[in-house]
Structure 1
Amino acid sequence: MANALEREDYLSDFLKCPICLETFKKPKCLPCLHTFCEACLQIYIDSDNSSEATNSEESKSKVVASSDQSHESGIQCPTCRTFIQIGEEVARCTWLQSLPDNFFINSLIDKQLIQTESKSCDPCASNGKEELAQKWCRNCSEALCQECHNDHQKFKALRNHSLLDLNSVKTQEKAASLCGFIPCADHSSSPAQVFCRNHHVVCCTLCATVRHRTCSEISTLEEASKDVKNDKTTLDLQKQLNDLIDSLHKRISQRKDCLVNLKLSKETIENKTTGLINDAIKHLETLKTSFKNDTEKKVTALSKNFDSEICKLTCLLSRVMHQKHILGVSVSQGSNEECLVERENILRIKDEIRVESDAISPNSQFGTFCFTIDHSLQNLTSKITDFENISLSKRCMKNGRLKLLKSVKLSTGLCCAVFHQNDILVNCDEDKQVLVVDFSLNVKSSVKLNANSRDITVDDTGRVFVSYPEEREVVEVDMRTKSVNKLFSTSDECYGLLWMKQNFFVTNGCKVATYNENGIKQKEIQTKNTWLMHCKLNEETLLYPKDDTVIENFQLINEKILFTQPCADLRGIDTDNEGNIYTVGMVSNKLYQLSPDGSLLQDFNFGEFDMKSLWSVSLNDENKIVITTCNGDVALFEIVCTC
């Protein structure tokens, strides 16, 4: 009994217009498959013409006309907010009438009415008589008593009409449609009689003759819909919709957790800093307000991003649940033909929703904040000018691990890699080319070089530069036009190349020199076995391996040893957004993670990944690390945080 009541409530909700919350009257179906009363849609569209609605934010969100939509005017679906183009202003008055009627909804409304109360004969009622109906004409959409049914069949034009026994409809002995008209997908006024399996579309006989004459799998609608409710495609679609709903629920939950973590981390940081500020009395009181405002701005900015993603995912969830709702009702209440039509519509919409869903990152980063105490705070009596160590804990690998995503051989010899926009650039020395690969390490394109190249770097605007050691040249590579242009010459062989603070840093293994973009040398220092370099986070400080040590050098004035690893033969070096340093050993085949002050946090042995002679390391802001070798191997890893 409870299940019957639940099904009745379920069906009643399905037959209510989302705008007026009453049973549908002349239901019209939008391209996104959401249905509304024709009058409700007219009011929704016309609200843009009233001066009050035009000035309201609600109206601006409903009716849109901008260059972003190809200069076409239109509306947003009241349910899923999908933009639907209306067209030119002259066509707006007829656009609503051109929308397809939802015959499936009309059929269910008639069926519900018949099942909940006794139906009177419609022809008799028009003559002021009260007779109990026993038949239903699907072609005329009228209830007939026995006498009117007999008269109905006397006329030649009405003799072949499809009639249903109302008693079978009331007891639901079979799921039959009360509406004998299913429209053609392209000609809404013509009945659909044919199903093309090649194009997965129902159509009229005219379409079958003209548009599908070369299709090999054509059948009648009745034949195609036979046992459609139990076939594999329908059952798989139901499962896919359930899986998509679960996925969207999970991702919305993740975003909500991110918002909670943001607020909790904000409170934690404020408690820490408030204690420090209270200890420093008046000197830190002014910094407290500044710090709290800065944290609030960061949290607000991040919250907007999560709110936006939650809104988008919620809209997608609404669309998927609606499609599931339609499919469930069509399976349980609709005819085979209706179920087939609705299923094919949903399959098309499902793929569109999947594309929109995939455009949003599948995983969310938990927006926690990390607070580190500045060295100057260790002595509270010293002068403190600012808090600068607030950063989003997005990719700190401390106490984490590396997950191998993919490893491929892209070169015959030594290669370097850097992240560039949404791709990875791989500089192949002996192959004389720069490869553009995606995050699956599939080669998308390449640029041929006219000499052996050793290192590659990218400036703040995305320009790409490569070093030619034997030619003693630095060249610029235009990835769009695939052209190579000489930038300047160097006094020595240029192996390592780095862009930092509007200057180029070049090393030949024994020297590190700086050049401006015009090729004028500015400074030079002696070093040893230095081949690759990196800029320390937000500073004019150079990091580079020297033999088995990691060196920190401020403005090429004085060297400071941060880390030493005997017999490692350190090569590539980079930093994450927490300031942690990453360097690889060509002999040890290990990746070393160091704190900003050079303390060893952990190391990773690349023997388990079957990689030897490690050469370069590069990180991006999306938890990705790319490692290259002297043998042409390129491996992409993801940082998996466990803290």
Structure 2
Amino acid sequence: MAIAQDKTDNFDDLLTCTICLETFTRPIYLPCLHTFCKTCINTYIKSTVGKEKTTTNFQCPICRQNVLMGESTGNPETWAEKLPGNHFVTSMMDRQAIRRSEKICDSCKANNESKNALSWCIVCGEAFCESCEKCHKSFKMTAKHPIMLLKDIVTNKETLSISSLIYCEEHSGEVVKAYCVDHSVPLCTLCATLSHRKCEDVITIEKAASGITKSEQAMKLSTDLKETSKQLSELIQKRRDLKTDFEKEAEAIFTKVSTIKDNIVEHLNTIEERIKDEITKSKKEVGLKLFEKSTELESLKSTVDNWITIFDTCLQHGSEVQCLLELNRINENKVTFGDVFAKGTSEMKNVSMLLETNDLAEAFADQVASIGVIRLVESDARVPKLTFRKNANFQTGNINVIKVIELTGQSVFLSGLFMRDEFIFTHNQLLKILKYSHNGSRLSELKLSNKPCDIDEISGTIAAVSTDSNNIFTINMNDMTMCRVIGNTFSSHGFCHVNGEFILARNNTLTWISSSTGVKTEQAETNGDTFYIYAQDRKNYICADGTNTVSKTVNDTKVFTYTNDKLQNPRGIDVDTDGNVYICAFSSGNIHQLTKDGKLVRIIPAESVGIKQPCVIRFKKNSNQFLVTCYQTGKVVVCEIF
């Protein structure tokens, strides 16, 4: 395993194995360029292959990229032996050891001995102790090799290459001595003899490497890598922000569910109190009525009971005359008594209290099983695709046609754009949206009810299409299905989508409408011939401003106006990744390239890319590729600037 280290140099992290977290021993690297101790990666491979039961590949412990070893590589326990050594890391370890006066004699180490080195052979790239140096000088082949004392290397202010010899990755033990310019690969003697003997440009490795550290190519790669790292940092932060936003949304839903529950409970409590009040009121009213009726009957009963007492006493103790008189008196009152009794009997009603519940209340648990459904909705985060753009000088580079797509028809308005790795076109004669693969073969199509005019991307899979009937269609380009129709919009030919709005261009009018409702939010006039428009946002746009004029407007102020007699009837407009502006001159048959501040760079003849009347131009995002449609021939050419 690795040896513990004393971190003093600024490249110590480069020399630390991420598995054992110590300085490398026998460093080897994977195709993804991650480096590990040979023993560490061997242990990792055996463990990983055993768990995943694979016999052809394993994953890098850091980036999880697959390392394909193939079917004929034998037992996974031997895979580490087949991985290339990292000579650069080895040389950095040598440099560090020399600076710390810890370098061990390479010859002694090969014989399992350990002696501190005192000198360095620049040719062999090896360190020697005093006795091994003497032996090294005694051989005829190495006697004249220049030797430096390690202490002089440490104090030498000039940069001195102490790198060990670089060995061929294909032929074990062979030193890299040459470089094939034709194939951009380093060569050992066997490589040069066996595989590259017919190559025209084979030079020494020293000549190939001369000046590479300060070359434009190296500087460009360094800049690209730093820019890519910056983009990845931004993407990682974006992902973290999305996670934070998602967690906030989840907490908001928790709160909303709790609030809904509280509102439901509060509403049910209100209903309960209302019913209780009705019950109490009815109970009081009915009770009072029943009490009044009972009081009348009790009074009647009291009278009857009094009559019974009087008449029974009369019968037992009174004279017959007295009995006759009481009998007559009672009979006279019996008529009134009978009426009261009859009335009391007729008014006697059974009063019941019932609760008539509705169906929802009776089966509330069944009918209200949920207050909502949780859905996870994925949408395009509008993060630009991470790419290494090919080196391109947009202002002076050559333009090469890489693909021609023949669309049927002549005198046809065609528009198009790049969506992911596919081409999407509108064809106004066929009333169709056409989808083509990256190699130019037709994949699918969608028939429209109106003639399409222009197309623009809304998200990663959704595009909008303007038509000659003032309708705008939004379409899912994955399965070529209609999403929605925004009707009764304003007249347009070309248009673009920015920040939830469409900017429509037609003749001498620009119209801003909401992309969700189609309602007009703003309108402006131009000097005419405004068929297409390019916009970075709603207040920063470029469009034709006359039959041979194009203007850029920012915050309602024209920042440049470009006019040229060779710019007849400007149509499609787009901008490359460096900010240069491209304008299709429909009638004059050329494409005008301007700087970002409106200065003419060059006029590109349409015939130079195989078309006659350029109509629409669209660049692929973060790329040097663009497409141009031709009105006269119904042809689309895909080009690149290099």
TM-score by length of 1: 0.48
